Structure 1
Amino acid sequence: MAYDTYKIIDILISNISEMSEVQSIGICGSKRSFPRAGEGDIDIFIYCDIVPSPEKRQAILNQLGNHVQEVKVNIFEEGHWGIGDFVLINGIETWLMYFTVNETVTDVESILSGKYPDKLDNYYYPIGRCAMLKNINILYDKSNFLDNLKKRLSKYPDKLGKILIQYHLDELDDTEDLERAVVRKDVLFYHFAMDIAVDHFLQALFAINKVYFPSRKRTLDFIENFNIKPEGCNEKLLEVIRLGGLSEEIDHSFSIWSNMVNELKKLSNIGEINSPSSL
């Protein structure tokens, strides 16, 4: 009998939760709206006192039998994404990422203190971990670890906002590469420099609006709902990119960009005024 994805995930979560080391399990996105095969993957985050051994995790996955098409244990170890196992469920790539409770708490507190104001290797945004945990859907929470963590993250720290805003606005002041690309009308170099600049712009904008920056995905949707942003922000960002692809329009692109950055700097003061501690 073929099981649907929802039932297999339910069985998988139930089996994982039976391991004594496991404290909490959460999933990114909806608990009941999974992607179709080839349209996305399923990310499941598992928080433990200590991560169960590979043999123990393999035994748990083996219980799924022929309800899954592929199982791999220890696909990756340590790093930003913990210890990872892989399961193919009805053609959907499903990632099981194991972390210890202690390392997660330490990591979150370091991020909230402003220790990691920018992305790290391979476009990993530490602040994105806070965004994920704040919005994670809880599937199992034996000791309320995830529930308490979500409460901890519910209020965006003013100190963090100030650190991130200042850091990224300072980075936006470095326009040497952009100016050089404009003078040379070098489209590829301009896009290289602009990608870096846009990254700092977005992170500053999110911090001004007191929203944890998740990643570069779906940023236009987020910006659409922001109260504090340069006028016509989405449209102008797209125009900067479009015009930057034409050598004869690079200077126009840079002019729009410079005005947006100047407006963002002015808006950063509004963000401070509107912070809860300032009211």
Structure 2
Amino acid sequence: MYFTQLCHLLQQMKETEALVLGGSRAGNSYDEKSDYDLYVYCSCVPSSSSRKEILEQCCDYIELGNSFWELEDDCTLKNGVDIDILYRNLDDFSAGIADVVDGGNAHNGYTTCMWHNLLHSRIIYDRDGRYAKLQSSYDIAYPSRLKEAIIHNNLRLLTGNLPSYDRQIHKAIGRNDLLSINHRTAAYMESYFDIIFAMNELTHPGEKRMMEYALANASILPEDFEKNIHKLMNHLYREPSLVDIIIEHMNSALIQCLQKNNMLK
């Protein structure tokens, strides 16, 4: 009720080009307590006062204009369900996806997250049909150039170079620097999963439930994939001296998997 009312009010704003629902609510894996991720694509961001006027009609709690990652209003609807309302420029969003998908440009982890967001979102309102057109234009086969770029870039981050994460983790273990071990291991996993999704030609679902998504959707996985990840997480603080060995096993299994499937040049 309150979500529907909020969407109706937001789409009346002259700046709003499209309203799109993302996250678990856009699919089938949610319950009544699941948060909403609502994206407002707009020519320019509506004023704080006009947004506040709308939000006060549907929300009990409002944090207006948070900008830790993207510009968003973080609220709790009057039925107690949290909602994140993110404001985006559609041209900028489109350009970012084009840079990755058409340009074949890899990131250090999470390369295809925005592409995944586009493909798996549910359109609520689309004033001129631009969002639907963008969604349709990128409902395509996974580009081989992009796949190769992600694997090449992120594998070099994992191992084989002076700045590679395995070397950084090794040094952090030698210093007994637990915070650095944690930080570098997190970065390692970002690049590791970017490769996992690319080698399976899957778009990246984001930071939540990556292992579960891979297990459910990937047809190609390194040997002991799940076992090694559990071992790494279980020993990260308990026995950090073993992290080096586990990382080495993960790198070896990943490289062997890539070679077996002719994905290494």
Tell me what 2:124 maps to.
Answer: 139
* Residues 22 and 254 (structure 1), Cα distance of their counterparts in 2 relative to 1, 3 Å cut: closer
Structure 1 unmatched runs, 5+: 1-6, 120-124, 273-279
* Residues 80 and 162 (structure 1), Cα distance of their counterparts in 2 relative to 1, 3 Å cut: farther
* Residues 255 and 145 (structure 1), Cα distance of their counterparts in 2 relative to 1, 3 Å cut: same
Structure 1 window deviating more from structure 2 (243-252 vs 219-228): it is 243-252
Tell me what 1:129 maps to.
Answer: 114
1:227-238 aligned within 5 A? 227-238=219-230
1:52-201 aligned within 5 A? 52-62=46-56, 64=57, 67-76=58-67, 80-81=69-70, 83-89=71-77, 90-112=79-101, 113-115=103-105, 117-119=107-109, 125=110, 127-155=112-140, 156-173=142-159, 174=164, 175-180=166-171, 184=174, 186=176, 188=178, 190-201=181-192
Alignment partner of 1:241 is 2:233: yes
* Residues 267 and 164 (structure 1), Cα distance of their counterparts in 2 relative to 1, 3 Å cut: farther
* Residues 228 and 161 (structure 1), Cα distance of their counterparts in 2 relative to 1, 3 Å cut: same
How big is the shift at 1:13?
A: 0.5
Query: What TM-score, normalized to structure 2?
Result: 0.80
Question: Match of 1:69, SS?
Answer: strand
Tell me what 1:276 maps to.
Answer: none
Alignment partner of 1:218 is 2:229: no
Q: Deviations over 1:3-54 (max 9, x none)?
A: xxxx111111111111232121111222585552xxx532100112333222
How big is the shift at 1:240?
A: 3.3
User: Is contact 1:209–1:271 with CA below 8 Å preserved after alignment?
Assistant: no
Q: For this pair of structures, how many residues does the alignment match?
A: 251
Match of residue 42, structure 2, among 7, 23, 48: 48
Larger Rg: 1
CA–CA separation in structure 2 for the residues paired with 1:19 and 1:271: 50
User: Is contact 1:228–1:271 with CA below 8 Å preserved after alignment?
Assistant: no
Q: Percent of counterpart pairs with the same letter?
A: 18
Cα RMSD for the two superposed structures: 2.9
Query: What TM-score, normalized to structure 1?
Result: 0.77
CA–CA separation in structure 1 for the residues paired with 2:130 and 2:121: 12
CA–CA separation in structure 2 for the residues paired with 1:92 and 1:157: 38
Amino acid at match of 2:210: T
* Residues 185 and 18 (structure 1), Cα distance of their counterparts in 2 relative to 1, 3 Å cut: closer
* Residues 42 and 16 (structure 1), Cα distance of their counterparts in 2 relative to 1, 3 Å cut: same
Match of residue 12, structure 1, among 6, 15, 18: 6
* Residues 211 and 59 (structure 1), Cα distance of their counterparts in 2 relative to 1, 3 Å cut: same
